[in-house]
């Protein structure tokens, strides 16, 4: 994504922001009458000057000269390792506003805080980020040279370099912890979820004035949620498994179940002992490791529940595939989902609806506690449900289904061509156009066979009925994707482990329970009235007194409230795009400012 740094007036800043296709990763710097601010998606206030003793003027002059060179260079680099500088304009503006007083060094040498920063950057891989992105080698090289360099002029030049290296690294790492290294909008144009916000200049000032240590300052930028911390630990754990050789795949063969015996049962027991828990031996003296006993059955069920599989205790093809996913692949899955977590805001809403597309699940959360859970059906892989946020504003009981033209031509037209009587038997009406004055037509008078996807001129509407594709209720949050939540008459699909069968909308397992929850504060709308209106043949629209946020997300690895890590198949094949973007050298939410180049050019969806 294009990132720009501004150091002019509010007017020019506003013009630039308005001209951008997105403002997710703006790090705005505005200087008006001594004002400077730097914050994602906004501008902070006037920041404190460092309280330490001021550096001599000759050192500050050297820092001034160095930052001005960086600002005006078309290929600014760090001297020590020729790493590109991504924040040249921001650095210059920051130091100019602080009278070029250094944060990380004095004229005598490095401060302890620069060593703390270097150590924190070395540990960036624990967050699923790469230390190489944050000039660790340049910092280390400069520090090493300073330990032996005795020439005063050379030492000063090295200290200036170290100061710039450290500030650049802090800003990059801080921003990546705060909003992610990868811009989700470059991977999914539908993404409209606002990131977390923080004033990085204020955080940097807190370090400079000794109000915060480096470690605690960086902690304020990480997602403050136990689920994120658990995934960080899971990344360490699965990387540890990989370093130790992972696990031996279970041989192919027929399904394994209770009372089976043989080498494959022994492989299963050994595999589960690594990632779940050692399976105790039965007290039966005839039992060996090669016997599929009750304990092993229970362990398989737990594994299946963690991986979104049918929890029947039988190791069939789907369970075998999940067991044989390598430790390296699971570690990468965790790394990708740590990045997805960094894209999210701190607050999704005191009361909100959250759909995990990859898990085929919906959860209603109120005051950080789940109050309603259900299975859902999402879009097929070739008609994917998009990732975005909106707010439910109303619901419709006994709804009409206004069939989108794409579904009418691709799905319904072939059905009607095979059997024209389906039009009336399924309760459809045919209109001569999409205008407000459209007139109904006799479906039996239409020659369906001569129509095609390109020549189909009609609008289809399905009347409220038990066979209506939207079921008894739909939940509306008008959006450009024409995606919403609704009931369905096809109930059998909820019994399947993977439920990608829709054309993009989300079908609900318990829609009336969701309606009851959303209408609990609406006078007169108790469950009995909801049920009555859901059985009628006329629509009933109920506007919510307060819009309820709804978030359609995609997570293939997460930790539940009990700290248990869950995995799901990457049904839309989106993990690879995120992983590739994380590995893309030079890709950053601080894209090369001097060249104004986009950071990621991958158009795969998330």
Residue 401 lies in a domain: yes
Q: Are residues 354 and 212 in the same domain?
A: no
> Above 50 in pLDDT, residue 526?
yes
Range with the lowest mean pLDDT among 284-298, 334-348, 385-399, 572-586?
284-298
> What integer pLDDT is reported at residue 289 of this predicted model?
61
Residue 300 lies in a domain: no
Q: 184-213, pLDDT tens digit by residue?
A: 999 988 999 989 999 999 999 999 999 999
Residue 90 lies in a domain: yes
Please report, for the domain that includes residue 414, its CATH number.
2.40.440.10
Provide the number of structural domains found in the chain.
Answer: 2
Across the strands, what pairs with 553?
A: 356
Across the strands, what pairs with 485?
A: 475, 506
Residue 540 lies in a domain: yes
Burial of 506 (0-12, 13-18, 19+ CB in 10 A): buried
Residue 323 lies in a domain: no
Q: 153-177, pLDDT tens digit by residue?
A: 999 999 999 999 999 999 999 999 9
Domain end call among 206, 222, 238: 222
Domain end call among 564, 581, 596: 564
> What integer pLDDT is reported at residue 22 of this predicted model?
35
> What integer pLDDT is reported at residue 27 of this predicted model?
39
Q: 431-482, pLDDT tens digit by residue?
A: 999 999 999 999 999 999 999 999 999 999 999 999 999 999 999 999 999 9
Reported as a pLDDT band with limits 50, 70 and 90, residue 358 is very high
Task: Tell the residue number behind the tokens 């304020």, with chain if given.
Answer: 220
> What integer pLDDT is reported at residue 243 of this predicted model?
97
Domain end call among 222, 240, 271: 222
Within 13 Å and on the Cβ side, how many CA atoms surround 410? 7
> What integer pLDDT is reported at residue 594 of this predicted model?
30
DSSP 225: -
Reported as a pLDDT band with limits 50, 70 and 90, residue 55 is low
Q: Are residues 526 and 385 in the same domain?
A: yes
Q: Write the CA distances from 294 to 254, 259, 290, 310, integer angstroms.
A: 19, 9, 13, 18
Higher-pLDDT residue of 42, 259: 259
> What integer pLDDT is reported at residue 599 of this predicted model?
33
Higher-pLDDT residue of 66, 127: 127
Report the distance separating Cα 299 and Cα 276, nearest Å. Answer: 8
Q: What is the set of active-site residues?
A: 486, 505
Arithmetic mean of pLDDT, 91-115? 93
> Above 90 in pLDDT, residue 86?
no
Report the distance separating Cα 424 and Cα 422, nearest Å. Answer: 6
Q: Write the CA distances from 490 to 168, 502, 530, 571, integer angstroms.
A: 55, 11, 21, 21
Residue 511 lies in a domain: yes
- Mean per-residue pLDDT of the chain: 86
Determine the structural domain holding residue 81 and report its residue range.
10-222
> What integer pLDDT is reported at residue 587 of this predicted model?
43
Residue 185 lies in a domain: yes
Residue 20 lies in a domain: yes
């Amino acid at each position: 994504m294009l990132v720009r740094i501004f150091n002019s007036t509010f007017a020019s800043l506003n013009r630039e922001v308005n001209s951008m296709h997105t403002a997710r990763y703006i790090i705005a710097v505005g200087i008006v009458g001594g004002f400077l601010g730097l914050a994602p998606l906004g501008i902070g206030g006037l920041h404190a000057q460092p309280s330490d003793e001021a550096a001599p003027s000759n050192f500050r002059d050297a820092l001034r000269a160095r930052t001005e060179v960086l600002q005006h260079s078309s290929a600014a680099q760090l001297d020590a390792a020729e790493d590109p500088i991504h924040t040249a304009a921001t650095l210059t503006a920051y130091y100019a506003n602080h009278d070029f007083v250094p944060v990380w060094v004095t004229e005598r040498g490095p401060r302890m805080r620069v060593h703390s920063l270097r150590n924190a950057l070395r540990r960036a891989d624990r967050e699923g980020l790469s230390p190489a992105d944050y000039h660790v080698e340049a910092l280390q090289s400069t520090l090493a040279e300073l330990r032996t360099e005795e020439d005063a002029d050379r030492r000063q030049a090295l200290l200036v370099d170290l100061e710039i290296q450290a500030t650049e690294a802090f800003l990059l790492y801080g921003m990546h912890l705060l909003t992610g290294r990868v811009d989700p909008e470059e991977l999914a144009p539908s993404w409209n979820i606002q990131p977390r916000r923080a004033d990085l200049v204020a955080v940097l000032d807190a370090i400079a004035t000794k109000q915060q240590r480096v470690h605690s300052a960086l902690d304020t930028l990480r997602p403050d949620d136990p689920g994120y911390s658990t995934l960080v630990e899971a990344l360490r754990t699965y990387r540890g498994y990989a370093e130790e050789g992972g696990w031996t795949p279970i041989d192919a063969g027929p399904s394994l179940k209770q009372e089976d015996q043989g080498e494959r049962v022994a492989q299963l027991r050994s595999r589960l002992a690594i990632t779940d828990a050692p399976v105790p031996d039965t007290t039966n003296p005839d039992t060996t490791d090669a016997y599929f006993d009750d304990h092993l059955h229970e362990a398989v069920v737990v594994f299946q529940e963690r991986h979104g599989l049918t929890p029947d205790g039988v190791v069939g093809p789907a369970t075998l595939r999940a067991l044989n996913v390598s430790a390296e692949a699971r570690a990468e899955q965790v790394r990708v989902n740590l990045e997805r977590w960094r894209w999210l805001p701190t607050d999704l809403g005191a009361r909100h609806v959250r759909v995990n597309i990859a898990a085929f699940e919906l959860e209603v959360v109120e005051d950080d506690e789940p109050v309603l859970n259900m299975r859902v059906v999402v879009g097929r892989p070739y008609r994917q449900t998009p990732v975005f946020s909106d707010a439910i504003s109303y619901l419709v009981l006994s709804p009409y289904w206004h069939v989108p033209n794409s579904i009418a031509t691709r799905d319904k037209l072939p059905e009607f061509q095979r059997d024209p009587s389906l039009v009336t038997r399924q309760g459809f009406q045919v209109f001569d156009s999409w205008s407000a004055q459209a007139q109904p037509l006799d479906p039996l008078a239409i020659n369906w066979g001569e129509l095609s996807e390109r020549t189909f001129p009609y609008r289809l509407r399905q009347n409220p009925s038990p066979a209506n594709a939207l079921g008894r209720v739909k939940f509306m949050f008008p959006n450009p994707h024409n995606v919403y939540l609704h009931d369905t008459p096809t109930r059998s699909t909820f019994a399947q482990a993977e439920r990608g069968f829709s054309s993009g909308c989300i079908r609900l397992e318990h829609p009336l329970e969701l309606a009851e929850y959303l209408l609990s504060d609406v006078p007169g709308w108790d469950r009995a009235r909801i049920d009555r209106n859901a059985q009628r043949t006329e629509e009933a629209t109920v506007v919510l007194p307060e819009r309820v946020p709804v978030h359609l997300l995609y997570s293939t690895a997460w930790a539940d409230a009990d700290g248990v890590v869950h995995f799901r198949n990457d049904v839309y094949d989106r993990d690879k795009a995120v992983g590739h973007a994380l590995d893309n050298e030079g890709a950053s939410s601080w894209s090369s400012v001097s060249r104004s180049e986009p950071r990621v050019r991958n158009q795969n969806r998330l």
